[in-house]
Amino acid sequence: MVVHISRDVLEQILAQAAAAPEMEVCGLLLGGEGRITEARPAANIADDPAHRFELDPAVLIAAHRAARAGGAQILGHYHSHPGGNTEPSVCDAAMADVAGALWLICAPNGGYALWRAGTDGLHGRFTRNRFEVEGQ
């Protein structure tokens, strides 16, 4: 399935990564019907934010509540890799749920790739997902 994302949403994520190149920035990907309509930033509360990420649970809970009330669905999340690699790491694989969530991984230098968590692929967990940036 091809996932669509607007240029504005993608640029918001890339700007966040560029503004904090020494750490993994993170947030939620919201939308529905194969379309990412919003990137909701979240604080990275990991004990070592330079090497891993953990979303602020308050942001996650609020997004779940909004989705239950008819708002945008949580499609997955995004995070950056300070070293520039846009492939999921072994650490990412250990955290990934097999339910098919999207993982947008970006780099401070502007690189990005979209992945879907599952039961096979890279690290036994990720397959690259096709996506189109709209408004280029």
Question: Which residues, including other chains, have CB under 8 Å from residue 108's CB and lie 6 or more apart?
Answer: 17, 18, 20, 21, 80, 82, 84
Chain segment 48-61, per-residue pLDDT in tens:
999 999 999 999 99
What pTM did the predictor assign?
Answer: 0.94
Domain definitions of the chain by residue range: 3-134
Q: Report the C-alpha gap between 69 and 135 in whole angstroms.
A: 29
The predicted structure's pLDDT at residue 99: 87
- Give 98's contacts (C-beta < 8 A, 6+ positions apart): 117, 118, 119, 125
Instruction: Decide the pairing of beta strands 131-134 and 26-32.
Output: unpaired
Distance CA 32, CA 79 (A): 20
Q: For residue range 48-95, list pLDDT tens digits in order.
A: 999 999 999 999 999 999 999 999 999 999 999 999 999 999 999 999
Half-sphere exposure of 1 (CA within 13 A, CB side): 12
Q: Specify whether domain 3-134 bears CATH 3.40.140.10.
A: yes
Start-to-end C-alpha separation, the chain: 20
Is residue 45 over pLDDT 70? yes
Asked if residue 78 lies in contact with residue 29, where contact means CB atoms within 8 angstroms, the answer is yes
Mean per-residue pLDDT, 116-125: 93
In this structure, the number of other CB atoms found within 10 A of the CB of residue 30 comes to 22
